């Protein structure tokens, strides 16, 4: 049964007329400015589109007709992949041909498999091939490693993860084993290079994933430095949801005559209901959140805050109020972050409070709601925050506190 459209009852409950809404949004068709950011408040409000039958995407390729290893095909099947998504269908043949690629795709479109599958095949044909995958966050790196292990099962392909917050000694030891794949974040990769534990001159394949997020996080210098250490003759793959001027500069440095594939369908997912929660008294903000979380439909909630300190405080407050809540942010150890994420994924926590470290890369099933307790700094951040719900074509709901 189609879910009913999410109404304005959170934001404008008990309003008798539209005058309050006009004061809130301004007089020009709902355009107002949040006091906490420069994003028009009206951009936080959007009803989910009715799920009218869309023209089904018919892939040109089939996983089992691809000219790839038989065991790799079996691993794809075991992973539950039946037919390629658009980005997989269009990108895999291009990568198998050895061409550079610029992939522009929304979050949750299956792009990780689109580059892992052909790169695994490339390594299987020549074990001297080495692949470097650069990601903005530890969580995304870990998820890529998990996918890689599933796709490369029984294929004798080895990987090393190089991220902050984890034991440096173990990572150095793993690198000594000459792994086929190295997946890491820019800062830790640079550190390992400086320690002479990692030589990028050996890598003839590089993937930059979630490039726009890396630029948002201020990694542009690190990325340029890493690129400068790679061999000139290489295959380069560049994935991003948006292409800014800075990203275009990197494209020029990284890619050679790339094939451009864009499967982006819009800024925000059509199946995510978006609304605002009007906070009249900031001292009552936690009460507003409490009143939402006790509702039956708020079963699995991801809450975003602006600062690490604020996120930790909110998480502690929610636990004091009896909610099963955890937090992840940059001050948490990697082992703690992984533990909390596991509890949230397995529904042992109802609520996860996070900074924007969780806005990209986290693929967690069945998140019912995303709540922007603190408004995002940019609209791109907003897009990626709310992309954590409504995954796998399910309906999700996103609320943004404004006042």
More confident residue, 341 or 108: 341
Mean pLDDT lowest for which of 177-181, 222-226, 355-359?
Answer: 355-359
* Same fold yes or no, 19-51+271-402 and 63-262: yes
Residue 20's pLDDT band (boundaries 50, 70, 90)? very low
How far apart are alpha carbons 186 and 220 in whole angstroms?
Answer: 9
Give 245: exposed, middle or buried? Use CB within 10 Å, 0-12, 13-18, 19+: exposed
In this prediction, residues 306-321 reach a mean pLDDT of 96
Please list, in sequence order, all residues whose beta carbon lies within 8 angstroms of the beta carbon of residue 311, skipping any fewer than 6 positions away. 305, 327, 328, 329, 353, 354, 355
- The pLDDT tens digits of the residues spanning 50-83 come to 444 457 788 999 998 999 999 999 999 999 998 9
Residue 107's pLDDT band (boundaries 50, 70, 90)? low
In this prediction, residues 17-30 reach a mean pLDDT of 36
pLDDT at residue 34 in the model: 41
More confident residue, 196 or 140: 196
pLDDT at residue 335 in the model: 86
Q: Is the pLDDT of residue 276 over 80?
A: yes
Alpha carbons within 13 angstroms on the beta-carbon side of residue 172 total 11
For 63-262, which CATH class? alpha beta
In this prediction, residues 44-52 reach a mean pLDDT of 65
Q: Domain ranges for the chain, please list them.
A: 19-51+271-402, 63-262
Q: Is the pLDDT of residue 382 over 80?
A: yes
Among residues 346, 348, 351, the alpha carbon closest in space to that of 368 is found at 351
Backbone angles phi, psi at 135, to 5 degrees: -130, 160
What's the distance, CA 165 to chain centroid?
Answer: 19
* Rounded-to-5 percentages of helix, strand, coil across the chain: 40, 15, 45
How many angstroms separate the Cα of 165 from the Cα of each of 209, 222, 329? Answer: 20, 18, 11
How far apart are alpha carbons 183 and 138 in whole angstroms?
Answer: 10
> What is the dotted CATH code of the domain comprising 19-51+271-402?
3.40.50.300
Alpha helices in 180-333 (DSSP H): 186-194, 211-216, 220-228, 245-254, 285-293, 308-320
Listed in order, strand segments (DSSP E) in 228-344 are: 235-240, 259-262, 272-278, 301-304, 325-328
User: Best-predicted range by mean pLDDT among 206-215, 224-233, 261-270?
Assistant: 224-233
Residue with tokens 């309906």: 395
């Amino acid at each position: 049964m189609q879910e009913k459209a999410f109404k304005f009852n959170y934001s404008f409950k008990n309003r008798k007329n539209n005058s309050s809404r006009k004061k809130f949004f301004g007089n020009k068709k709902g355009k107002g400015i949040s006091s906490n950011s420069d994003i028009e408040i009206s951009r936080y409000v959007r009803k989910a589109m009715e799920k009218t039958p869309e023209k089904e995407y018919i892939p040109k390729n089939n996983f089992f007709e691809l000219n790839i290893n038989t065991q790799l095909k079996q691993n794809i099947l075991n992973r539950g992949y039946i037919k390629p998504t658009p980005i997989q269908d269009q990108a895999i043949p291009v990568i198998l041909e050895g061409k550079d690629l610029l992939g522009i795709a929304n979050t949750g479109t299956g792009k990780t498999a689109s580059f892992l599958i052909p790169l695994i095949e490339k390594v299987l044909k020549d074990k001297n091939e080495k692949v470097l995958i650069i990601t903005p966050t530890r969580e995304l790196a870990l998820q890529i490693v998990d996918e890689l292990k599933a796709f490369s099962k029984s294929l004798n392909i080895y990987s090393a993860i190089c991220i902050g917050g984890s034991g440096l000694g173990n990572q150095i030891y793993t690198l000594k084993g000459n792994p086929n794949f190295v997946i890491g974040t820019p800062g830790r990769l640079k550190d390992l290079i400086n320690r002479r534990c990692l030589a990028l001159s050996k890598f003839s394949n590089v993937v930059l994933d979630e490039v726009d997020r890396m630029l948002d996080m201020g990694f542009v210098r690190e990325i340029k430095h890493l690129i400068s250490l790679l061999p000139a003759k290489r295959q380069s793959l560049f994935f991003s949801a948006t292409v800014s001027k800075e990203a275009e500069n990197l494209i020029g440095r990284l890619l050679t005559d790339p094939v451009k594939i864009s499967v982006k369908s819009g800024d925000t997912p059509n199946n995510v209901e978006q609304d605002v929660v009007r906070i009249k008294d900031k001292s009552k903000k936690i009460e507003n959140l409490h009143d939402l979380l006790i509702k039956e439909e708020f079963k699995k909630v991801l809450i975003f805050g602006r600062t690490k300190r604020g996120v930790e405080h909110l998480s502690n407050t929610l636990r004091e109020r009896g909610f099963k809540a955890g937090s992840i942010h940059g001050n948490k150890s990697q082992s703690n972050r992984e533990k909390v994420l596991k509890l949230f994924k397995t529904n042992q926590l109802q609520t996860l409070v996070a900074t924007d470290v969780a806005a990209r890369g986290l693929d967690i099933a069945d998140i019912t709601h995303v709540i922007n307790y603190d408004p995002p700094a940019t609209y791109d951040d907003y897009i990626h925050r709310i992309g954590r719900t409504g995954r796998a074509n399910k309906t999700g709901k996103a609320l943004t506190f404004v006042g």
